[in-house]
Amino acid sequence: MLSASNLTKQYDNVLSVDSLTFTIEKGEVVGLLGANGAGKSTTMNMITGCIPPSSGTVMVFGHDMHWDPIPAKRHIGYLPEIPPLYTDMTVTEQLLFACSLRSVTKAARKSEVDRACELVNIGDVRKRVIRQLSKGYRQRVGMAQALVGSPELLVFDEPTAGLDPKQIIDIRQLILKLKERHTIILSSHILAEITSVCTRLLIMKGGKLVADSTPEQLGNAHAGGNQLELRIKGGEIQVHPLLTAIPGVAELRLETSPEPGCVDVLVTAQQGKDLREAIFFALAAASCPVVMMRPAKPTLEEIFIRLTA
């Protein structure tokens, strides 16, 4: 559906995007992550044809965005971080105008506006002037504008920026609904939002792509497979010497457990050592039951910091 090859953007002496290469297939929901200044918005502006790359190519449904931009853009619905709306228009006027820009026939425009308004749930404000709407409603109008003409690829840049918690939940549910029929590229600083809707993550740092994976694969790759999380019935004074006596234990971290009478332990094993059986039998022999044992996996926030710090 979309491929970017060696995509680069240079502003004077600043290299905003550096040789970015990736492809996106039909039906994917791709999260674009990175710290401020990583090049996310610049990348989105280039793949949607809003700004030209310094070098590299963008192909959308086989159309080159540089040499054949109009057919390429017909497949894309784009919502920038600040929705491009005429605030002196009503919602209906704005969406009819968007339909005319996207070459929706006059006969089909009313039904297309109706469809877009129903999808994003803005039917109750259709007659209101946009400048009178809250930020949350303006985001929804911007999404409706991106949806008219039924483009196959939707690109949303920080769609929940500046919204309150309820509005964030509403937009997240809308994206979950849209992914049934559209391929979506989404950038956000809210990592919980990304993991709840995205099937794949692209993480950028300094204009470069530092990770391209599913959330699950990313977690497994950074799990540090030689760590175990334990919850043990007993006290720290009793548990600590039992674990340190097990051959292959490299490091221990003990914390008070929220479960009464238990202690939480993070065990780091020496490279290549599987300590699960040794830990189980050593603690069972000392009448310290293991009530939970699992491989330690970092959160997406921890992985993000590792990759972008």
First to last CA, the chain: 32
303 domain-assigned: no
Q: What is the largest CA-CA distance in the chain?
A: 80
What is the count of structural domains for the chain? 2
Calpha distance 97→110 (Å, rounded): 11
CATH number at residue 6: 3.40.50.300
Calpha distance 187→42 (Å, rounded): 11
Same domain, yes or no: 86 and 110: yes
Same domain, yes or no: 129 and 163: yes
Structure token digits, residue 79: 């919502």
For the cut 80, the answer to whether the pLDDT of residue 161 exceeds it is no
The residue from 177, 204, 221 where one domain ends is: 221
29 domain-assigned: yes
Same domain, yes or no: 200 and 214: yes
Q: How confident is the model at residue 154 (pLDDT cuts 50, 70, 90)?
A: very high
Question: How much is the CA Rg of the chain, to the nearest whole Å?
Answer: 25
Same domain, yes or no: 45 and 175: yes
Q: Range of 64's domain?
A: 2-221
Average pLDDT score over residue span 38-47? 92
Same domain, yes or no: 258 and 173: no
The residue from 170, 200, 221 where one domain ends is: 221
206 domain-assigned: yes
pLDDT tens for each residue of 225-252:
578 899 999 989 999 999 999 999 988 9
CB 53 within 8 A of CB 4: no
pLDDT tens for each residue of 285-305:
999 999 999 887 777 777 878
305 domain-assigned: no
124 domain-assigned: yes
- pTM of the entire predicted model: 0.76
Calpha distance 126→142 (Å, rounded): 13
User: What's the chain's average pLDDT?
Assistant: 89
72 three-class SS? helix
CB 215 within 8 A of CB 299: no
Cβ-Cβ contacts under 8 Å for 101 (sequence gap 6 or more) = none
Structure token digits, residue 199: 């099937």
